[in-house]
Structure 1
Amino acid sequence: MDDEDDPVEHEIDVFLSKSLAENLYLLQYPVRPSHMTYDSIQHLSTKVKPNQKKVELELALNTKSPHYAKSKGEQIALNVDGHKEGAETSYYASSLMDKQVLTSVPSSTNTGRYAVGYLKDGELHLSPLHALVQLRPSFGYLDRVDSRQKVVQSGGGDEGESSQDEVEEEAKPVTIKFARPESDEAKARRLASFEYLNKKREEERWVNVDYYGIYDDRSEMERELLLAGRGDQNSAEFNITPKDYLQMLMPLSSEDKQEKPAMPNNVLSLSQLKTMPLGDQVKSLLVNAKVIQFHQLMNLLPKGTDPQATLRSLQHVAVMVQGCWVVKSDVLYPKEVCSPHSGISAEYLCRGRDYVIWRFTQSRFVTRKEVATITKLPSEDILDILKQMSHIRVHQGWEFGLEYDYDFTNRYPEITQRQKMLWEAKHQAIFKQLNISKEQEKKIRDQAAVEAAGDKPRRRRRSSSRSSRKRTLSGRSISDHSDIEIELPKQESLDVEPILIDGDNNTESMEVNHISNGPTMELSAEGMSTLNSVSHELRTELLKFVQEKLYSRFVLSISELKRLFTVKLSTCPPGHIFGSGVSEKLLEEAVIEVGGIILNAQWQTEHVYVLSKTGGDLDTIRGILVDFLKSNHKVNKKSFAKLVESSLGTSPSDNDIKTVLRDYCVPKLGSWYIKCCSDWS
């Protein structure tokens, strides 16, 4: 074809992302209308068979719905479970059909030809599909009905008949058969038979997995994996001279021919370290040191090593605590590793160690009693974890092993701020894994604040207790004094006053805590920066971020918007424009700029932003709903339909009403509640 007759209209860059290539499933619901999703329905359990690519969802049924036939539900539960109310083996524990099961059917379509596309910032990111399954309702409870009836019939109609009343069967001769040798051809036919394959499928066990909603933090993080990583991030790590490259290829052999004794496992050879790539050097040093300051790391690396390249490699294998760097738990404990003391898996070790690391970001001291209560790990494993990054101090607990590195936090504020945001997002996942309640979290934070406030006065007595502390630490037979809680005078905790910072910044007052990861980004309502005064790059990126969130959610509270921004910031690479600082005022101006409005309602406790116009045919109905939400956070569907009809003069379709309500509200107990309202649940 002639190029002049077919000109190129538009060009976009295409990237291939393989981060989710082995776990990306496309779920289809062929018997469910597209506008009736399962997002708002409670998921009781989810399980998969990875080899068969089979998925099964157990969903709750709304038994209080006016469309639910209670008599039918009771009859089905009675047929399935019989007269066994409250029994643990009952399929329906509530004596009602209160759940349904969706089972996947493997699709005949070849998934190797399909991928999921993510178009963002003029770039198309493609992720290959691992499986494509169709979920349909399963009627396995009918099989339970047949099985129960057969049992009743075989027992003479009495389910409770004792097995002792049965007549003992006569002894019968047993014929033993021995299988003859099987040829290779017969074995191949047997392995390819339907009976054998079906048996293998039934033998595969179900794997229980956790379900996360579409707006959950974990879902936000997983969706970011659809974006392909940039290949130029680590390109600076190979900027070496030809002479050094030749030395890496052919390292100089030692002239000493004598056999040297083998070094212990915990000793790292610096000569061998020089032959490794920079990323492996940093990883080896962190694994051996466990905790290290950045200037110490640079002294151990070869002269002339680029600090920026070192920082990029360092953030892959370590996290920052009090300005120092601690090796990541998953690097220290890979999946295949187990505890040498108790034999527990690496998953539980990483979970407990991450809590200890987070605890040291809040305070200089940690007690072993607290760690044991929260993590439930054996005492030997807890002691091993604490020794990696801290040392014991009598009557105070375990103190972090290194002093706060203020020099690093002052020289690299962007990295310090990014690590702070990363911990803010990560500690929520740690608390969820350890089943820590909100009350426990508040108690832990209050205790950390008291310890942080009382740490500075105790330093005055350091010289007088230094000698005794050394003698205590050198002994191996002493008991663990870290279980003794810190006793501080009440007046000591009251002397900590918030420091007000006044001047041109007009910054909000904030409490100074020296136990932190350094300067943090304050999202305050005050600030002299406006959307028109910031750089063009920051303005463009901020508008894109806010528009993406507002157009996908339609309703955003200021706390939810700040949380989403924190999650976004934790996934940004070092040096991103968001690291320069974004205030609450900038976020609010960005919402107004992209078309959002502030919902000034009497019931709200914080600023709530809504998107009232999208440029579609339903904007009029959206405006009516937004005006109604200014006075009430709860909407009745029928009343709202009548309100729309009286305002427009025409009767709207039921589908239009549902579409608008679903964009702004969540159904609950026959009514619709605005998404950001916490009262509906």
Structure 2
Amino acid sequence: MVTVKTEPMDEDVDDPVVKEIPVYVSTKLADKLYIFQYPLRSADVGYDNDIFLETSMKPENEEVKIQVQLDTQSENYDESQGEFLAANNIESSTKQKEEQLFKGDQMDRIFLKSSRAEPNCDNYAIAIFQNDEFHITPLKGIIQMRQDFSYLDRVDKKFKDSGKNGGEGFMDVDDDEPEELEVHAKFAKNISDYTKQQREKSFQTHARKSMEEKWVPCKFQKAEEPIKEEMFCHEVDNDTSNNLKLTQSQYLNILAPVKNTKLKSNANILNPINALSYIQTLPLLEQITRLMKDAKIITFEHLRAIISSDHKDTDILKILQEVAVLVQNNWVVNSNIIYHDDYQSDSGIESELMRRARNYILLCYTEREYIQDRAEICSTVKLPIEEVTQIIDNLAIYEPQKGWRLLASSTEFAKMYPDIANRQILVWEGRGKEIRKLLESQQPQQSKSPQRRQR
């Protein structure tokens, strides 16, 4: 249960608190709870009253298959077709033993197969309100179950192998020549070899993992079974201490932050995932790192306006010099934070080359206000124009007839903190020599072969 420190506040007489409800989070079913959807059946019908003959699951790949009993006594059941499908659904195992797919002489079941409805369910939970208590259980996944008709493929294969139908069943084998059909050719868009390899690799990896994992038999429990009680918190931790260490107003601001109309940032200053109200609760190092990673480039005045006034300027500047560099009086996040070791561009460029190219572009901005020729940058860093454009677009804005200049603009930092500004100049002098040395080592060395003597 989550509680917060209370502080004196004026209660709104028109909107009093009428009831407090304790909230509990049950972890007993963590990583085990799924929602099963049956999109081909209406909600009022479902499968609640059906009999599940067999259920099995692949936990790692989150795949499920279910065999549901079919009512063979129903007036809508076609006995002749049921017998036909049962008789022709015999598959041979590796030991040359024939296994009957349907247990009797009729088709007595249908097959349901799963598909993922939602790839990421980290923000979903199941909640139950009972006895004036709110119990929440985190959700592992949402799975949709649809009918599987693979047994028809076995019948089809059997008749194709035998080359005859005998006039029975739902298939008609015609010995006549096939009709001529008009064929329309469609051409797919050009896809890079790297993208194609990544798609194939991803599918092949998923298929291989699915084939390697064995089906685990499961037992189906009806809704009225007592196992559902595991969704409730029977052992409650009554420790009401405030682990967040927030006052009531601070906690309320996290839940419903007040929009600051005075603060206008760059288009890419904050990722919506990193809500400002949440970031302000983090340690100062993590605050600055997240803000710089989202903003890419920002003035110190702007950054200072975002961070709480509880933090001193000296503490902010100390951390800022660890995660960013000063370029034209603007702070730019370090390249290793943007392009981490596991990063790879759409063209397959590794993170080390991207970091090197970005550092060279930043070096250019320490020497001049505008970058005019991207082709020159590409020639120097040996990267495609797409990667160079991506780097520049995150830092600069294009001005016709001038080129790309940095997004942020400030002339005050060097006046306010001359020591740090001078230190950053020395940092760039050393870094510039290192960057140029690395780029020169990339240049293709011309082979010098000894001249042959003329005869």
The bucket for the TM-score relative to the shorter chain is 0.3 to 0.5
TM-score, normalised to structure 2, is 0.39
Higher Cα Rg, which structure: 2
TM-score, normalised to structure 1, is 0.26
Higher RCO structure, 1 or 2 (CA under 8 Å, sep 6+): 2
Query: Which structure features the higher share of helix residues?
Result: 1
